[in-house]
C-alpha cells in the first residue's frame, strides 16, 4: 500500500446541495475511516461512454492507466442527485470488469440559480433525450432571456469502487454565470455559455489545460487522486 491509514470527515450540509440530495446527506455517516486503495500497477476503468469526459479524466489522472467502459455501456440514470447517478454507473460496471481495477464514474451538471437549479441532473438531456450540446445551450439561452440573475454553478461527483468493495466520493464545484450568447469553439456541453467567476472568458474559450486547472471535474479528480493515494 502507498501511504498509511487516514480519516476523512464529512460534515452534514445545512441545506440542499447541487451534488447530493438531502436524502444522500442524511444517510451518509458523519465520519468514516479509509485506507489508501491505490497499488502500483492498478488501473482505473471509467464507467462512461462519453468520449469528452474520458478525454478530460484521462489527462487529469496523469500517468495512471485509464480504460473505458465497453462499447454500448449506457445504464439508465434514475437518480435525483449527481452522487446517485454516479453510483448507479459505477455499480453497473463493477461486476463486468476484472477484480484488480478501480471503477470510477462521473456525473456532472449545470445548476442555474434563476431556474431553480435546472437543468441540474438532467443537463445532458435538457432539450430532449437525443439533444445535442448545441440544442441544450440554445434552450438555456432562450430560458434565460430577460433574467438579471445569471448566476450558476457546475457540479461534479466522482464515485470510485475499489476491488474490496470500498467506495470513495469526491466532489467539485465551479461557480460562474450564464452568458447571453455562446462564445468559444473548444470544450463541450455548456462550456460555450458558462463564464467562471474567476475569468472573463467562457470555458469554451480556454485551452484544455486552463479549463482543467479550475473546472468542477478537475477539482473532483484531484480530490479523488488524493483519496486514492496517487497524488
**Within 13 Å and on the Cβ side, how many CA atoms surround 66?**
21
Cell of 14: 445545512
CA nearest neighbour of 139 among 131, 147, 150: 131
Choosing from 24, 106, 107, 191, which is the catalytic residue? Answer: 107
Nearest-5° angle of CA 52, CA 120, CA 144?
100
Cell of 75: 445504464
**Residue 104 CA to its chain's centroid (Å):** 11
* Residue 139 vs residues 34, 145, 175, 179, 196: alpha-carbon distances, Å: 43, 10, 20, 13, 20
Active site includes 148? no
Strand partners of residue 107? 157
DSSP class of residue 70?
Answer: P
- Residues catalogued as catalytic: 107
Amino acid at each position: 500500500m502507498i501511504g498509511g491509514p487516514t480519516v476523512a470527515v464529512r460534515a452534514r450540509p445545512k441545506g440542499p446541495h447541487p451534488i447530493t440530495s438531502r436524502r444522500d446527506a442524511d444517510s451518509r455517516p458523519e465520519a468514516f475511516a479509509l485506507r489508501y486503495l491505490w497499488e502500483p500497477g492498478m488501473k482505473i476503468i471509467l464507467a462512461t461512454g462519453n468520449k469528452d469526459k474520458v478525454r478530460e479524466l484521462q489527462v487529469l489522472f496523469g500517468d495512471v492507466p485509464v480504460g473505458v467502459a465497453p462499447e454500448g455501456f449506457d445504464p439508465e440514470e434514475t437518480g435525483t442527485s449527481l452522487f446517485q447517478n454516479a453510483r448507479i454507473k459505477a455499480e453497473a460496471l463493477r461486476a463486468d470488469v476484472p477484480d484488480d481495477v478501480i471503477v470510477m464514474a462521473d456525473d456532472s451538471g449545470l445548476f442555474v440559480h434563476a431556474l431553480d437549479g435546472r437543468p441540474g441532473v438532467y443537463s445532458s438531456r435538457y432539450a430532449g433525450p437525443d439533444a445535442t450540446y448545441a440544442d441544450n445551450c440554445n434552450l438555456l439561452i432562450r430560458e434565460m432571456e430577460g433574467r438579471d440573475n445569471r448566476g450558476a454553478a457546475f457540479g461534479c461527483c466522482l464515485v470510485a469502487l475499489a476491488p474490496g468493495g470500498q467506495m470513495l466520493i469526491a466532489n467539485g464545484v465551479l461557480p460562474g454565470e450564464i452568458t447571453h450568447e455562446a462564445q468559444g469553439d473548444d470544450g463541450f456541453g455548456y462550456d460555450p455559455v458558462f463564464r467562471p467567476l474567476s475569468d472573463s472568458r467562457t470555458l469554451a474559450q480556454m485551452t484544455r489545460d486552463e479549463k482543467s486547472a479550475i473546472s468542477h471535474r478537475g477539482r473532483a479528480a484531484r480530490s479523488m487522486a488524493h483519496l486514492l493515494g496517487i497524488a
